[in-house]
Structure 1
Amino acid sequence: MSISDSTIQRYTHADPDVRLMLRVRDDDAAAFEELMLRYQNRLVSLMAHLTGKRDIAEDLAQDVFLRVYRARKRYVPGSKFSTWLFTIANNVASNALRTLSRRKEVNVTAKPDDSSFNPVVASATAASALMPTRQLDKSEMQEAVLAAIDTLNERQRLAVLLAKFEHMSYEDIGEVMEMTPQAIKSLLARARGKLREALTPYVDHGQKVDG
């Protein structure tokens, strides 16, 4: 699909990361390093949440950046840079999850094995729309929310992470996941409902969440 000149100008003007990527297209190594600094931790965190393994997440993040660099000469700003980047990341993660599933080497819904999950724990708690009715231990609540997130399927988990951790709009998430904004809205509603369902027995009665 061709991208109009007005669209290119709009995103170039509005998004500093697009301007960095255009410099990368012109073989500016410093611009590529700056993009990596801006997105490295975010990509690793996302991949860790999706695969459950920090070491695998780091490798996948490097794969994403490698694909970005290889595609630099074909880059045309038809969306926010972050949307374009996370579209690549989604493809990389999907391929990795299929490989992991076939090999049966890891549980792809396992919890990430480091503390980088904490920001999303807070976001997912907010997404569940739960107001605790009893005083909850922070680490105990974190474990419960992690288990609740494990109840989400891959698409729901990715949508929640992009919405709550990356603060993406329905439209941008839809572009990443190749779905309509309305479908993303419905997907997130189901995900929040499932989080509420999983967490309510724990919040109300202290029952363990089955992830």
Structure 2
Amino acid sequence: MDNGVSSYLRFLNGDNDSFVELVKEYGDGLILFLNSIIRDIHIAEEAANDTLMKLYIKKPQFKSEYSFKTWLYTIGRNVALNYLKKLKRHKYTPLEDFSYFSDNIDLESEYIQDEENLLIHQCIKALNKDYAQVLFLIYFENLSHTEVAKVMNKSQRQITQLLYCAKEALKVEMGRRGNNGQI
């Protein structure tokens, strides 16, 4: 799909079906990335929808300096940070606290099929937000250090240091969970 660029350009030229391709290709990954920032899958879904609606309605021009995914995730990160600002202003109780509201379908479980990846994702979720973001973007979304720096609004040196610290923290968390038998 030419990394999403061709679909987005077709969408800008009036082909609405190509936008559906973008949603199918990038929607789940965007939700999981935004969840690493917001830490609530339901709000992350809303933020991802808002990000995609921004593209659909405002039709911003794609800047080809980075990949389409990097550009999309940068927009999504900004939307997620706005959500966090709103949540700080209002008292918020996650929907997971009300088990009778929770969906029967768990997006994370569908997206992460095998147990080892599920354990890794759960350990990553336990880390601080910057660690979770850098690990997710590099290892699950396969973005380069340069692209991650752009998405996270940091320098490449900061990303290198952050990645090192994140991997160390992940080792500790996985060891802790492995020893306790928690998944």
Structure 1 length normalisation: TM-score?
A: 0.68
What's 2:171 paired with? 196
Q: CA deviation at 1:155?
A: 1.7
1:84 matches 2:71: yes
Matched, 1:206 2:150: no
After the TM superposition, which segments of 4 or more aligned residues of structure 1 sit over 6 Å from their partners?
Answer: none
Aligned to 1:34: 21
Using the aligned pairs only, state the percent identity.
27
Q: How does 1:60-79 map to 2 (within 5 A)?
A: 60-79=47-66
Q: Could you tell me how far 1:115 is from its partner in structure 2? A: 5.4
Q: Contact (CA 8 Å) 2:149, 2:159: kept in 1 or not?
A: yes
The match for 1:136 is none
Aligned alpha-carbon RMSD (Å): 3.1
Deviation of 1:157 after TM superposition, in Å, equals 1.3
Of residues 98, 112, 117, the one that matches 1:119 is: 112
The offset of 1:207, in angstroms, is 7.6
CA distance in 1, matches of 2:17, 2:134: 32
Structure 2 contact 62–71 (Cα < 8 Å) conserved: no
Q: Match for residue 130 of structure 2?
A: 155
Give the drift of 1:201: 3.7
Between the aligned partners of 2:64 and 2:149, the Cα distance in structure 1 is 17
- Report what 1:7 is aligned to: none
Secondary structure of the structure 2 residue equivalent to 1:75: coil
C-alpha separation in 1, matches of 2:124 and 2:64: 33
Q: Is 1:180 aligned to 2:155, yes or no? A: yes
Q: CA deviation at 1:186?
A: 0.9
TM-score normalized by the length of structure 2: 0.77
Matched positions, count: 173
Q: CA deviation at 1:76?
A: 3.6
2-side partners of 1:157 and 1:62: how far apart? 21
Change (3 A) 1:102 1:197: farther
Aligned partner of 2:6 in structure 1 is 19
Distance 1:164 1:119 in 2: 13
Return the index of the structure with the highest Cα Rg. 1
Q: Give the Cα separation in 2 of the matches to 1:86 and 1:161.
A: 12
Pairwise CA distance, 1:173: 0.5
Secondary structure at the counterpart of residue 78 of structure 1: coil
1:156 to partner: Cα distance: 1.6
